[in-house]
Amino acid sequence: MNLYIANATRQDVVFLLRLPEKAKLHRLTLSSGRQDVIKDMSQNDINSIITHLERYGAVKRSNVRGKLSNFVGYVYSLDKPITEDEFHYGNEEVIDAAQNRSVVEATKAAMASELVSRNKVVKGQRAKRTVVGFEQEGGPKPEKERLRMEVTVDPEVNGNVGFPLN
């Protein structure tokens, strides 16, 4: 039985695997946008490797087309290579997950800033709301194409609205 493992991220990754009942440590290096195949292993060894990969966020090939949250970019398949379209879709999901994490972290920062500034008195008045702006730094994009975001925290707004704070 063959096991295909793909890396749909923009970074190289190294997996260190130890199969049950074997002392040897296996090293699997996957370059960005590449896949590797592990050939002719027993079903128990394949299941052990899949369990290890899933622990670190790998998903089965059939699940790549679904809505994935916190997808890390590792895909595995039994007996069939991962297609180019699945690589592209997986990479888009990795980017979406990173952007969602950025929004959550920016929201946490704005809420923390609001807690600090809520009780400050400036020129005899307390702040009614806190606005925190974020802008993407550097990178290959020109300045006008960089991401910008503004988060407003207003204590007067309904307090029943929750944010995921993972």
pLDDT in tens, 129-159: 666 676 766 666 666 666 676 767 666 665 5
DSSP letter assigned to residue 143: G
Contacts (Cβ under 8 Å, ≥6 apart) of 101: 70
What stretch of H or E contains 49?
Answer: helix 43-55
pTM over 0.75: no
Query: Residue 70 region, left (φ>0) first, then alpha (ψ -120 to 50), else beta?
Result: left
pLDDT in tens, 38-54: 888 888 888 988 998 89
For 90-120, give one letter per residue: b (16+ CB within 10 A) or e.
bbebbeebeeeeeeeebbeebeeebeeeeee
